[in-house]
A = this chain, B = another copy of it.
């Protein structure tokens, strides 16, 4: 007798399950439902009768409505599941059920670095920021001399001196969206709680002036922020020398901080996915969403991003908006993207492709829910522009591209002190100063890239519940926040992935 084909119910409220294996007609699944016809792998089967016009629920959320009555055991796809207009209305807050946040005393803790402003770092880096590409080599030479000198051996509480270089900072307009986005990004890295001290290196004549950033943020140079320009210092070698001196002078104070217990509410978790596959939306993403829900219920913050991946289904998030203003802010970002793409000769299109449909995704709601599943189920408390400081608690959205390094750079600039990254194809990603925990969506990629993957979510297909997987991820987040290195940290990822979003013409 054939083994029971595997299926997955993503939420207790769902009236469909997802076929993990091909389900032959007449096969009876775990849970007792019997297939009335063949259900292809990745596709959906009704597990209870669904009346015409009744909602079809997956992830506990509406992915469409029955376009005709559907019997239990039937295949659910385009022939009997449709999107109705109602599903696209922006009903702000309808789905926002306020969470009961655990009192601080009851929150799980991690061991972090408490900063003067009350924030808590999970790492303790000295960042060499660069105002412009023209100072990139100098910053890298300083980092290299720090390493060669072995001076960090004397400072065991310092995680490293990292050079965060990029290709912009000049040849750009000196005001407007592109400039402001870049300034927020630079400042956000200096302000990230995982950065205990910053030395910023400039050339001198660039459009992005360090002095202007200092003025904008009322920055006074001191133990935690200093700067140098190559032109004022007299060239590259002298600036490397002066930079090394500055680093040497900043290290003792940076090293004096010690890890101490902090509540989970001090965590700001960036949610990412890259190299998605057909399993992302049913294993790693919902499992990460379950972890995000635990974090939020303990007073922490989880940042969903990657606007192009929720495009066309933004009302799924506005329904969760805590206030109409929050919902409106998301819609404003969506309109901004439509303009951004149009003026660049592109087009926003997140509809399921023929390949998506063959794989079992029926509607744009279902596709976007798979991506948004990383964000769990709690109310949407705030919407941020790229690299804006994230000050709200709970579940929030930051507008970023979907492209991993650019998206994560915005989240880290916003203050994320830990990041979780789901991947099906196998991305290798780090984003110093913030540790990146990689979650494989399937066991095959987990095994194949075991040296890059932190957690296997593929076992959800073998019966591990989403809730259990979420708890496992949450525990790992606490451990990593307390200093346990991630795979990508051990490999040396995180500097080359600093990739500020460049908006506007390069002149």
Which residues from chain A sit less than 8 Å from chain B, CB to CB?
133-134, 136-138, 140-141, 165-167, 170-173, 176-177, 203-205, 230-231, 234-238, 274-275, 308, 340-341, 343-346, 401-406, 425-430, 448-452, 491-497, 499-502, 504-507
Say whether B506 contacts A401, CB under 8 Å. yes
A137–B345 contact, CB under 8 A? no
Given contacts A405-B133, A426-B230, A497-B137, contact A235 B448 (CB under 8 A): yes
Answer whether A235 and B405 are a contact pair too, CB < 8 Å, given A138-B428, A428-B230, A504-B346: no
A340 to B344, alpha carbons, bound, how many Å? 9
Q: Is the CB of B401 within 8 A of A496?
A: no
Q: Determine the chain B residues whose CB is within 8 A of the CB of A166 once the complex forms.
A: 167
User: Do B173 and A404 have beta carbons less than 8 Å apart?
Assistant: no
A502 to B308, CA, bound (A): 19
Chain B residues closer than 8 Å to A170, beta-carbon distance: 403-404
B426 touches A504 (CB 8 A): no
The one of B134, B237, B495 that contacts A427, using a Cβ cutoff of 8 Å: B134
Knowing A134-B404, A405-B134, the reply to whether A344 touches B343 (Cβ < 8 A) is yes
A165-B496, A403-B507 given; 14 more Cβ-contact pairs under 8 Å: A133-B405, A134-B405, A140-B496, A141-B492, A170-B403, A171-B404, A203-B428, A204-B426, A230-B426, A231-B426, A237-B451, A344-B504, A345-B504, A406-B506
Contact A405-B507, Cβ < 8 Å, known A235-B449, A425-B231, A452-B235: no
Complex formed: what's the CA distance from A494 to B170 in Å?
Answer: 18
Partner of A429, one of B134, B204, B506, B507: B134
| Cβ contacts A to B, 30 pairs, < 8 Å | A133-B405, A133-B496, A133-B497, A134-B405, A134-B427, A137-B491, A137-B492, A137-B496, A138-B428, A140-B496, A166-B167, A167-B405, A167-B406, A167-B500, A170-B404, A171-B401, A171-B403, A172-B403, A173-B346, A204-B275, A205-B275, A205-B425, A205-B427, A231-B449, A236-B451, A236-B452, A343-B344, A345-B504, A402-B507, A501-B506
Complex contacts, A136 vs chain B, CB 8 Å: 496-497
- Give 7 nearest A-B pairs by CB, closest first: A171-B403, A136-B496, A167-B499, A235-B449, A344-B505, A205-B425, A343-B343
- Which of chain B's residues have a CB closer than 8 A to the CB of A502? 502, 506
Chain B's nearest CB lies how many Å from the CB of A442?
13
Q: Are B402 and A171 in contact (CB under 8 A)?
A: yes
Are B137 and A428 in contact, CB atoms less than 8 angstroms apart?
A: yes
Smallest CB–CB gap between A487 and chain B, Å? 9
Q: Which residues of B contact A505 (CB under 8 A)?
A: 340-341, 344, 346, 401
Closest partner residue, chain B, to A430 (CB atom): B137
In angstroms, Cα B143 to Cα A492, docked, is 13
Determine the distance from Cα of A207 to Cα of B137 in the docked complex, in whole angstroms. 28
**Which chain B positions have C-beta within 8 A of A450?**
235
Q: Once the chains bind, are A449 and B234 in contact (CB under 8 Å)?
A: yes
Provide the bound-state CA to CA distance between A499 and B402, in Å. 21
Cα separation A238 to B447 with both chains bound (whole Å): 13
Output the residue of A133, A134, A230, A429 with the most chain B CB within 10 A.
A134
Q: Does the CB pair A401–B451 fall under 8 Å?
A: no
Q: Please, how many angstroms separate the alpha-carbon atoms of A325 and B484 in the complex?
A: 63
A171, B402: Cα distance in complex, Å: 7
Distance (whole angstroms) from the CB of A273 to the closest CB of chain B: 12
Give chain B residues whose Cβ lies under 8 Å from the Cβ of A341. Answer: 505, 507
Question: If the complex has contacts A137-B491, A236-B451, are A203 and B427 also in contact, measured as CB distance less than 8 A?
Answer: yes
In the complex, how many angstroms separate the beta carbon of A70 from the nearest chain B beta carbon?
35
Nearest opposing residue in chain B for A450, CB measure:
B235
Which B residue sits closest to A400, measured CB to CB? B506
User: Chain B: which residue is nearest A135 at the CB level?
Assistant: B428
Shortest CB-to-CB span from A124 to chain B, Å, is 21
The reply to whether A507 and B401 form a contact with Cβ atoms under 8 Å apart is: yes
A445 nearest CB neighbor, chain B only: B231
Q: Which residue of B lies closest to A130 (CB)?
A: B496
